[in-house]
Amino acid sequence: MSFSTIKRPPSKQYVPTLTRQQQEQEDHAGALLRGAASSSSGVREFESQSISVEDVIKSETVGLVDQEKLKRLREELLAQKRNDDTATSRNDSDATTSGSEVGKLTKRPKKKRGLQKSKLSFADGDEEESSQCDETDDNVDGDKPTVKKRRNFDPTVDTSFLMTKETEEWERQQREELRKEFLRRQEEIKEEKAYLQFCYFDGTYVPGKVTIKKGDQIWVMLDRTRKGRKEFHRGTVDDIIFVKDNIIIPHHYDFYYFILNKVKTKAGPLFDFENPDEDIKRTKVVHRTWYEKNKHIFPASIWREFDPEVDYTTLVLRDSQGFVLYQQ
């Protein structure tokens, strides 16, 4: 008994097919990825985050999903995203290259603005400064900037009144020499000796004479006059009053002050050492005790302390009621 070989029909290879619902889900996921990629490339500078593959999978899967289906969906989404990113970067690079080329072609050379020259002589300084600035900017890379010579000056303008450095230095030296000469002359006058005639006054006139320097102060002269009267030996210089032309001279003044300022009264210069015939009654040396007792009696009642602001050539002495007491 023989057995014949029974040939079986070849078995068909199983090819997994997607259902209609699964196919719609994959198409929808691809459309979402493409839309997200295009929108992110258009407004990339305004968004801080982009849609990821995981976000798309979470939005498309509901409930339990097979692991193989989930893995296949992720691979498809990643491949689609890579293709979209490559296309987007290529478009961006092409747009950048074309923009730079257009900018180079449309760029125009910068024209230099010329300066209108002025024919006024006093405006040349401004032109020179501006031209020097322009030349310096143009020759930054060069070794030495070229400086234009000053032009367009009016030779007929009188500039003799302008001060130069040499003139200022000469005037400064002249002022300094005059100042030194003035100080030297002052010292010479102060060292000159003179004779002062006066009288000791206590209601009577007792003549006296003393040698002084024109630079001496009043108290130095009064200290020398103390030797001529016994009443003055007991006190000090502060107990003596010096009166000239009814003016009480304070002790701190010197004779040179009145000579330099040419102080005058109606009788003439307050101190005139060149006149030997001067009336000694104009110059009085008085003890303070006698003055305090008799200052309400003439002539002590019209004596006034020296005031440098008063013009004694026009001064009229009056009493407390306004009546003229004495006029020189």
CATH fold group of domain 193-326: Ubiquitin-like (UB roll) (3.10.20)
Q: pLDDT (tens digit, 9 = 90+) per residue, 214-269?
A: 999 999 999 999 888 888 888 889 999 999 988 999 999 999 999 999 999 988 89
3-state SS, residue 49: coil
Pair of tokens at residue 170: 């000469």
Q: What is the percent of the chain where pLDDT is above 70? A: 61
Residues in CB range of 191: below 8 A, 6 or more apart: 213, 214, 215
Question: Which phi and psi (to 5°) does residue 43 adopt?
Answer: -120, 35
As a whole number of angstroms, the distance between CA 294 and CA 108 comes to 107
Q: What average pLDDT score do residues 139-150 get?
A: 56
As a whole number of angstroms, the distance between CA 208 and CA 198 comes to 5
> Would you state the pLDDT for residue 272?
86
pLDDT-based confidence at 69, cuts 50/70/90?
Answer: confident
Q: Tell me: pLDDT of 181 over 90.
A: yes
> Would you state the pLDDT for residue 188?
92
- State the chain's mean pLDDT as an integer: 74
Q: Tell me: pLDDT of 279 over 70.
A: yes
Q: pLDDT (tens digit, 9 = 90+) per residue, 145-162?
A: 565 666 677 778 887 778
> Would you state the pLDDT for residue 121?
47
- How many helices (H) and strands (E) in the chain? 8, 10
As a whole number of angstroms, the distance between CA 159 and CA 84 comes to 83
pTM across the whole model? 0.48
Question: Which phi and psi (to 5°) does residue 208 adopt?
Answer: -150, 165
Q: What is the percent of the chain where pLDDT is above 90? A: 27
The domains of the chain are located at 20-89, 193-326
As a whole number of angstroms, the distance between CA 216 and CA 162 comes to 47
Q: How far is CA 283 from CA 196, 197, 208, in A?
A: 9, 7, 10
User: Using the 8-state DSSP alphabet, how is residue 206 labeled?
Assistant: E
> Would you state the pLDDT for residue 110?
55
